Structure 1
Amino acid sequence: MNRLPNLDPLRFFLASFVLLFHLPQLSANQGLPYFDSLPIYHRGLEAVYMFFVLSGFLIIRLIYRAKIRDAFSIKDFYVRRILRIFPLYYLVLGFGLLFYNVILPFLNIPFEINYTWKEALFYNVFFLPNVFAKIYEPGGILEILWSIGIEEQFYLVIAPLLFFINVKWVLRVLSLLLLGYFILYWFDVFEVLRNYTFVFFYLFSGGVIAILEEKQMLDFLKRSAVFPLVICIATLLYFTTDWFLFEPLWLRAAFTCFLFGSFIHSLAFNNRGVEVNSKILNHFGSISYGIYMFHAIVLNAVVFLFLKLEMLQNLNETLTIFLLHLLTFASTLLIAHLSYTYFELYFLKLKNKFRK
């Protein structure tokens, strides 16, 4: 299947923003020098939200194109998703549970555990890691799994829903779901949706953009040289300034749905021939799932070294901050590459057996 241009580098940058978000947090928590004075260090959550828009865009586009060919299989869809998500998800889940419940006590490092193994397995096996993270605050390695839970929950709903809907009604149904769910999300009576970050409207918004493109209803944007430029500049400013941190939150959420969806569409379809052809960036994009999943593990290991090695403790603040960034990024990229090459790729190749 041909990959849309520019989206792999986007994945890499979004995963990097999440890493930048968590690095100074853990450093400060452990009493190490840290730097977080730039807005880019505070956009980790927004980077995940854009991941959601991108996921909705790609998944719903895939389903819609399969439905047009009358070739959409729920079973094949779920098998492909399982092969992509589950191996790394359960690897990190298993390590995280061992890390906080076994490794830290063995190293005499205090960490409060307020859940049982049964509770941990129940929430994380049955696609509710976002609920688990909110209730128990089980530690960063496990808490980052919340976003994978949102994706899994979305897949459980969207595949059977679109399977039974006539292809002519897909856009209308998705638009109603987007609008209706967005309104419900911000009502106080449905506060539980916000408490556990059930932000499905981001995925729906990506899907709506995808269907509009498939129906050639966004062709007018492709003729514009101004719109994609404005969208790209606005997105850059969103991640590098505080100009768009306006209230109320529901209005900001609506704005980001539009901005992120338009940005993804501009990169993929309205790029005016501008395409990132860097093999390195494209590869980093292909391993972005691993970057996201492993970065918290690597960050804990790097911080542990700085706390225990005397030679690192005697460095000045600037050098410490620089080395924390360098070691965390380099080690995360290396481990994600090795994981992709020698672990994930085995399962990814199996996905081809379930394509029509």
Structure 2
Amino acid sequence: MRFPKVFFLLILLIVSHIAKAQLNNRVLLQPVRVQEQNANDIRIAVQALGFLRNNEYFNKIADGYTLFGYQLNPRITYQPTKDVVIEAGALLWKDFGASGYEEIAPTFTVKVQRERWALLFGTLEGHLNHGYIEPLYDFERLILNRLENGIQYKLNTPRLRLDAWADWANMLYRGEDDQEQVNGGAAVAILLLEREGRGNLADSLYLTLPVQFTAQHKGGQIDASDLPLTTVANVAIGLELEKKYNRRVLHRLYTKNYMVGFKDFSNELQLPYEQGHGVYFNVGADTKYQDVMLSYWRGDGYISELGGKLYQSASTTFKHPDHLEEERELLILRLMKDVELEEGLTLTLRLEPLWDFNDPKLEFSSGFYLSFNTDFFLAKAKR
């Protein structure tokens, strides 16, 4: 599969079947809240995520394993004005069946929220909040890489959405046998067409152009490490088309098409491929009873350190670390359901069977996520 052919195929599919962006992870986002009515309040905020994710994978590219436990993030928040909030707390990550906690880490955020933009410093609205597609950003980072610390700028206008961020993943101190590591990127969505329906049963149509970018840098000038500098970038571009229905059963129809690219800009190459690409096609429906999406992936020499492991051409497994599959071809069916149990408490159920064309057999991933997000008044600050 050569890049010009892939590009031509994608253009044809975009023209005929225009795309929507990423999975609907809305109930798992848990953003930092800035509310005008809370000005001068001191509050207690609590975010909790219970997770059970079981990957029944038997291929040589992605490991099969189970994640089972919870993450708790209690915080004290102070909102000195109507558009600024300061939060301080801790993330506690517990895996069931393990002694102690996997991680106990401080969290601290300053967020300035204006009408159309927001600026965050400290612990970011990271992981799924960025809105990336899975070949660029792994869903499991919600659990395995929950905290991102750095700076983030978000813009939201009637025609444009932007999330630009930098996560300082590893600090380097003078003389350490290590490297500094910085992850970052931007996710942009430009609204090209909006057609709002009228009446109680009116349908709405939205056409959007998304552009997504991630980058990773490892290096430093004050380290004692022999490892060379590494700079890798991934990018995705497509079109989104969704039609919303105000009906009892059918809520939304959409299709998805993306062209995805990877490039290693390092002076000394360490990865098995210097560049790669892929196509990511989807079609889906949201209904009263069940959300369904069918995804097709075809990749050629594609690598993404932040992306989903199934989409890689290089193995991330424990038993087969040197295994390569330059061309990857997958078909994934996603069955999804969100159930609001109480206000602020949501149960998310997912089943994702997949077919690997290189190693034909049925594999699957299943997920159970209990998400809780609330805050309550503690005191008025004295000024």
The TM-score, its normalising length taken from structure 1, stands at 0.27
Q: Which has the higher strand share?
A: 2
- The answer to which structure, 1 or 2, has the higher relative contact order (CA under 8 A, 6+ apart) is 1
Q: Which has the higher helix share?
A: 1
